[in-house]
Structure 1
Amino acid sequence: MSKSQRSVSDVEMPHYVGHRERLRERFFSAGADAMPDYELLELTLFAAVPRRDVKPLAKALIARFGSFAEVIAAPRERLAEVEGVSASVATQLKIVEAAARRLAKTRLLGRPALASWSALIDYCAAAMARSQKEEFRVLFLDRKNVLMADEVQSTGTVDHTPVYPREIVKRALDHGATAMILVHNHPSGDPTPSKADITMTRDVADAAKALGIVVHDHVIVGRSGHVSFKALGLL
């Protein structure tokens, strides 16, 4: 029998084909929690790299950034430093990051923020905890403390972002908000508030109070967790 006459079943398939199917089956049968980060990353990479073994790339990305969450949150330019990361791979990873943020925000929308605290923290962590620059975000709430709007007010450097109390209060009035939750991140990973954080928070709270707007809390998020000014007795 000539090579052209051999059946498809006789043709040796690349080793990664069977591996992909086994990985997908395990994902559906055991769930994501049963899989190490590099295998979950492999599953993510399948769509971007259809005809190559992606396990080495997945392991290289985990080795560089530390975890699945850190990989998808990494900036494109840092992802591109890893050999094998093409434009399609970077795009696939950023799509997964965007989906994670969208899901976290959806769990918060339409629900009283103060009664959905874990969902709020999950959203803030997904949106900001792994950013390499400080961002100052404001969650604007209505009279029932339901999220009306979510805006990044300013973006700064690795350890500072400018905050303007009057501009924040003006945005609250624009939205017709009666309350706010302030959020910012510490790229260092340590969410402990600085003296400047404490002073700025009091300035915003005082400016808002003069117009009948309540600042419920100021949350700082970092890779190692989060802190609440209200819980610390700072607000």
Structure 2
Amino acid sequence: MVRDDRPTDPVTFSRNFLLDGDYDVEVSLSLDVNDTGGLTPSLSYATPLAAAATTLTVAGSANLSESREHNFTENIQLSTRKIFQEWKNGVDPHECPLVADTPLAGTLGIIDMVAMANSTADLDESRKLTDAGVFGGSIQFVVTKKITATGPTWTLVRFNNISALADFSQVNTDKITLAFALGPNVGKPMRVARARNRYNPYAHDFLQQLLTSSINTQLTRLQNTLR
């Protein structure tokens, strides 16, 4: 997004907005995996009684299930100017992989997020290191893999298997939350930019605000579901 060798590429249309503002971005990445599986055999025993057309049926079932949940969370903070300088000097190309075998592969929408901020007339760019001019958002991917109705169905003289045996599922929930904030060198040429020796507290605070808002939204949806 900040490289200068593609002037006609829409991806780089907001490069001056990010570099002039010395924008920092703090990113929170969370990965949740839920695995569930179980065996639920069901069996019925049928035997005829003395009376005509009368049958006694005794049914029984069992349930053996197992579930596992694990999650991973990582927070990182990046400087758009540092990314540009590393790319310009050949230190780090910051290239996205051509083929990514991951649920996060695809368009994340970060370009659109920055473009919306760049086109917002009321976004306060006071060129001071305050909490003004912050923006951000989140992207979530949910991948569900499920196998149901697996297992033999059979009939003997007096025994009936009336349901499938196995049920397995895996749900991957991957979420990225980004918070952009003005950096300490906002409005200054890159050649006279002062050294960065600490993280951007305004990006960090806004990220926490976004995460808290997301949690509140989830709780509200849960409450509405239980009513």
Q: Please give the range of the TM-score, normalised by the shorter of the 2 chains.
A: under 0.3
Q: Which has the higher helix share?
A: 1
Q: Which has the higher strand share?
A: 2
Q: Which has the higher contact order (CA 8 A, sep 6+)?
A: 2
